Amino acid sequence: MRYEEFIKNTVEEYVAKGRIDADAFPDMEIYMDQAETFLNKELGIYKKSEKDKVITKTMIGNYVKHNMLPRPVNKKYSKDHLILLTLIFYLKGTFQMEEIEKIFKPLIDNYNSEFDDKIDLPALYEGIIGVQQAECEALAQSVGGMIKESKRRLRETELSDDDMLELFMLIVNLSLKADAQKFLAHKLLREYILKPKQKK
């Protein structure tokens, strides 16, 4: 299979399975092993091998310990817990645990508060996924554009028939795009969450 067909199939699989739909989360409370099973099934696209796990009970315990996740009630995890676990998974590729802890602090403080109006986490997640749906739909066009532009630029050289160079250019350009988005996410984190508030 040529790499163009492979990347097309991979993008289609990512668009279909790369994000957990907002309505996929169970409305009932479940135990940790059930939460682990649910998330590993729903996020299975990210497994490197069939035996691999994208999330483990140890990870879930550590997220609770580091105040990234509210404590379970009677050892049971709610829909809100599963949504937060999913968001932690999405953020792990960009941020360190202590950074995610800072990002999540307002949500966890609100969740644990007896006085504040509760943030509707399912509605928040649905909004995030709605934005991502548009991004995913643009992904195939973006990758296709990178391939086309790489071929065009290579045609200007004597190396235009070399698939290895096309692949190299595509991998580097995808990495640079991801790096630019990661750079912006870290800038926002430092400026608005980590940076101490200055007195006026």
pLDDT at residue number 200 = 43
Using the 8-state DSSP alphabet, how is residue 76 labeled? E
Report domain extents, the chain: 21-121, 123-194
Question: Rounded CA gap, 163 and 161, in Å?
Answer: 6
Q: Degrees (nearest 5) of the Cα angle 71, 55, 130?
A: 85
Query: What are the pLDDT tens digits along the chain (200 aa)?
Result: 789 999 999 999 999 999 999 999 999 999 999 999 999 999 999 999 988 999 999 999 999 999 999 999 999 999 999 999 999 999 999 999 999 999 999 999 999 998 989 999 999 999 999 999 889 889 989 999 999 999 888 888 877 667 889 999 999 999 999 999 999 999 999 999 998 665 44
Question: Rounded CA gap, 110 and 124, in Å?
Answer: 13
- DSSP codes of every residue in 17-73: HSS--GGGS-SS-EEHHHHHHHHHHHTGGG-SSTT--SS-HHHHHHHHHTTSSPPPB
Residue type, 75: K
pLDDT at residue number 146 = 94
